[in-house]
Amino acid sequence: MRLKKKDHKNFIFALILLPVLAVGISSYAVFKGIQNYVATSSYFKLRDLNVEGITDARYIDVMKEEILGTNIFRIDTRKLSQRIKNRFPTFYSVTVTRQLPSTLLIVAKERLPVALVRRDAFYLFDSEGVIVSKFPLSEQMDFPVITGLENKLSVLRLGESYRSGVLSGVLDLARVLRQQRPNIENGLPRDGKLKITKIDASDADDFSFYLGESIQVRIGSRDFENKVRLLSAILKSMGADINNVKYIDLRPKEPAIAMKKGTGKR
């Protein structure tokens, strides 16, 4: 009697399981059929490559030669994104998006270079601490040189990221100076001799930078954006007198200006 009950339960279980298996197998077969169609159909053949943020036309042409005509689902978007980043170390973001049925969109965002560090060469840093380029010391660069970090950074390598506390702070200052550069230069003489030449980071709590080789701007270690905006207004108000300035101190609530020719603070 027990055997018959067991056989009865097995029979019921089989009646339930077999339809489920049948549905599962059928669904899998349909899925594989759709997958095979999508992966082989000419309808999904890549016909257009739209690129934003990459200006190297030759590199774009090479990519087009390699991937146009390929099924869009056979393109590994992650590998393609990484490949572009390896080719262009200044890009911090590369997104590759399928736009069905036949278009691939690549959007690259470039890092913002802000300042140089001098070693065996000039190393150009972006605002996030990544070295984006390297230049010979003989080359004239239109970026301020960070001083005072000689013993605070390890060996520098192109494409690597460096994140020390003092470096992060001084690069944040360099970023603000780069972004507000047009406003700063609008208040300076037109001959270009008083551009921002260097940033002194020897004291992590008290940064300063230089206009030309001799006019020091003391700015501290915080609230850079407001202080630099204030500097722009000060420079506009001074006109030609800026050439007689020894330093501008933006740290106090009321900024102080020291002149070179014995006129004291202003």
Domain boundaries of the chain, sorted by first residue: 42-110, 113-259
Q: What is the reported pLDDT for 88?
A: 87
Q: Which two tokens stand for residue 241?
A: 């007198």
CB 200 within 8 A of CB 248: no
**Least confident segment among 101-105, 205-209, 239-243:** 239-243
pTM of the model: 0.67
Own/partner long-range contacts of 119-122 (Cβ < 8 Å, ≥24 apart): 119/156
Mean pLDDT, range 80-86, rounded to an integer: 93
Q: Report the C-alpha gap between 2 and 54 in whole angstroms.
A: 76
Distance of CA 183 to the CA centre of its chain: 23
CATH number of 113-259: 3.40.50
pLDDT at 13: 57
Asked if residues 49 and 67 have their Cβ atoms less than 8 Å apart, the reply is yes
- pLDDT beyond 60 at 40: yes
Q: Using N-to-C axis directions, what is the helix angle for 224-238 and 165-179, rounded to 10°?
A: 40
pLDDT digits (tens, 9 = 90+) for 183-235: 998 888 877 678 999 999 999 999 999 999 899 999 999 999 999 999 999 99
Report whether pLDDT(102) > 70. yes
The predicted pLDDT at position 1 comes to: 46
Looking at residue 31, its pLDDT comes to 54
Could you report how far apart the first and last alpha carbons of the chain are, in Å? 110
Query: Tokens at residue 21, please?
Result: 């298996």
158 pLDDT above the threshold of 90 = no
pLDDT attached to residue 20:
64
| Angstrom distance (rounded) from CA 76 to CA 203 | 48
CA atoms within 13 A on the CB side of 152: 18
Task: Report pLDDT digits (tens) over 47-70.
Answer: 999 999 999 999 999 999 999 999
Considering the domain 42-110 in this protein, what is its CATH number? 3.10.20.310
User: Could you tell me the pLDDT band of residue 111, with boundaries at 50, 70 and 90?
Assistant: confident
